Amino acid sequence: MFMWCSKTYHRYLFLPSLPEAEMWELCISRATGGWSEQDNEHYKYLQSLLEHYRSVAQQEKLDRERKRFSHRKSAYLSLTDKYSLPSLLGRKSLTPLSPYAPKGDSSQSLDMTASEATAEVEGLPDEIFTEEVVLSSVTDMEQRMASPEWQPEKTSDLYPLHKHILVKRSLRCRHCEHNLSKPEYNPSSIKFKIQLGAFMVRVVDIPPEKTDLTPSADVALPQGQVILAARDDTAEYDDQDSISSYKDDPLVVAWRRANKVGINLLVTPKANVSRAKVGFVLRYDYTNTVATASESRTVTLNIPVMVDVGTVSE
């Protein structure tokens, strides 16, 4: 009997949500020397907090154990008086209940200097008022929370993060005891080994969805062309409508916002139809402002559009 097993490999370090071009630039720049660990200026303070939390947890555990044993000991007070063992039990009560109990005075180990809030806030850098803000170079909330010790503000300051690695386990056949998969002892030195695993591809035939693309109404398209503004990544953060500099026909253009525009269409449904559906071809001329002189700057696209207007009221 033969079995196929699949395996998965993961990288040891990864860059959170970084564009592919910038990620390769960082990897190439670090290819010779490797990635070194970053030094955190608050490392000693964080370690003291961890030690304090461990001591508090240990003290709470000892208190719970002491309360539990106190109830048990109260039931056997008569036996201790009968057999004259108070001195022996007194010596045992002085010993700690756990081998991890803190030595010395427990109140001293729980002392911790509290952090003080300050009203002074670090000011903004001077270049924020003079230089143009590039949103692609600013990290988002997910990227900052992925490394809470540093919280980088720019994508150039992102650093690879440690990630747990999945290790293969030993797998044998239940009938012939044949070793199908050998374990990896060092996860950081995993390499692809074709002879130890196989990838199973499941082929599923999904039939195409049947849709009714027969138009049931006539549409009157506007004559001429409508010009759109260039794409602006900062437009979605602007709540106010920008003043349009285009002289649009109000019978054709319903509204305009950033690089989006709404167009009025006159739809006439056909006789004896319950829902009105119209179809037309949208011709779109795209102008690439980043292309060089040798490349084509304008590309014409024809997009078929089918719109379900809705039910026809009598």
CA–CA distance, 11 with 164 (Å, rounded to integer) = 9
pLDDT of residue 77: 54
Q: Give the model confidence (pLDDT) of 241-257 as tens digits.
A: 555 677 888 888 888 88
Q: Give the model confidence (pLDDT) of 179-207 as tens digits.
A: 877 776 655 555 555 455 567 788 888 88
Over residues 48-58, the mean pLDDT reads 89
Q: Give the model confidence (pLDDT) of 86-130 as tens digits.
A: 555 555 555 555 444 444 444 445 567 777 888 888 888 888 888
Token pair of 304 as six digits: 């078929």
Residue 276: Cβ-neighbour burial (10 angstroms; 0-12, 13-18, 19+): buried
Token pair of 148 as six digits: 């809470």
CA 251 to mean position of chain CA atoms: 45
- For CA atoms 44, 45, 49, 50, give the dihedral sign: negative
pLDDT of residue 6: 37
Which of the given ranges, 18-27, 126-135, 291-300, has the highest pLDDT on average?
126-135
Q: Please, what is the Cα angle at 190 between 185 and 192, to 5 degrees?
A: 130
The strand pairing partners of 304, in sequence order, are: 281
Question: Residue type for 300, please?
Answer: T
pLDDT of residue 23: 56
Q: Give the model confidence (pLDDT) of 278-308 as tens digits.
A: 888 888 888 877 766 666 678 888 988 888 8
The strand pairing partners of 218, in sequence order, are: 268
